[in-house]
Amino acid sequence: MNVLVLNGPNLNLLGTREPSVYGATTLADVEALCREAGAARGASVDCRQSNHEGQLIDWIHEAGVAHREGRLAGVVFNAGAYTHTSIALHDAIKGAGVPVIEVHISNVHARESFRHHSWLSPVAAGIVVGFGVDGYVLAIDGLLRKTASSRS
């Protein structure tokens, strides 16, 4: 089975952006971690990053088609700041019908109040918050377990 890992705005700056919050791990490190986690579970992982909301929406739409065709388990998605602002991403996830696991490296609920609301959570299949980059591994594992149990 395949998994799509999407990263939103500013996640290309991992390793240099606010290391006290996000750590020293780079996006390339996160992508390698995700591919290793997928391979350990018999899944192929495709990683993509964009700072552009429309590109992320297009990828979610594509993921919906791949999921319906049985080629994709779902999406692990760190939407960055779009989590707190994008009704369009909410609508894309809801409309595409693909399982999405929302991921945040930091505990957004322990940060600024504007980060406490997520437009994605109501349409997410699950949420992983505050485990650092290990959250991606937890999300991949959870998504694949959820997919396996729904097919049983």
Q: Is residue 105 annotated as involved in ligand binding? A: yes
pLDDT at residue 46 above 80? yes
pTM here is 0.92
Q: Is residue 106 annotated as involved in ligand binding? A: yes
Phi, psi dihedral angles at 116 (to 5 degrees): -75, -20
Task: Considering only residues 108 and 90, tell me which one the structure prediction assigns the higher pLDDT.
Answer: 90
Mean pLDDT across 4-14:
95
Residues annotated catalytic, as ranges: 22, 104
Q: Is residue 10 annotated as involved in ligand binding? A: no
Lowest mean pLDDT among 49-53, 78-82, 103-107: 103-107
Helices (DSSP H) in the chain: which residue ranges?
19-22, 27-40, 53-68, 87-96, 134-151
Give the single-character DSSP code of 113.
Answer: G
State the number of CA atoms in the 13 A half-sphere of 142 facing the CB: 19
pLDDT at residue 21 above 80? no
